Amino acid sequence: MPSDQPAWVLTRREMIGARIREARLYANLSQLELGTRVGVDHKTIHRIEYGISDPGLGLLIQIAHAVDRPLAELVK
């Protein structure tokens, strides 16, 4: 499925996803547990962590809260 976004946007999304994954693992949460905390299923968490899905600001804020990290740290 081709994307209409520039390559640098996709790269940034993958980097943010990797930071979310790292924070989730540090918080000792599974994708299922994180998804339950923020109100989405584990497949959505997987897609975010691997840069497939573009999470909205509201979901990013919820994820940051669930893993006890500042939002800025996840999206820097």
Least confident of 1-5, 12-16, 35-39: 1-5
Q: Regarding predicted confidence, which is higher, 65 or 1?
A: 65
Domains in the chain and their CATH numbers?
A: 7-75 (1.10.260.40)
pTM: 0.92
CA distance 55 to 61: 10
Give the pLDDT of residue 16: 97
Sign of CA pseudo-dihedral 42, 36, 62, 19: negative
pLDDT over 50 (residue 10) = yes
pLDDT one-digit tens code per residue, 35-65: 999 999 999 999 999 999 999 999 999 999 9
Tokens at 28, concatenated: 């000792």
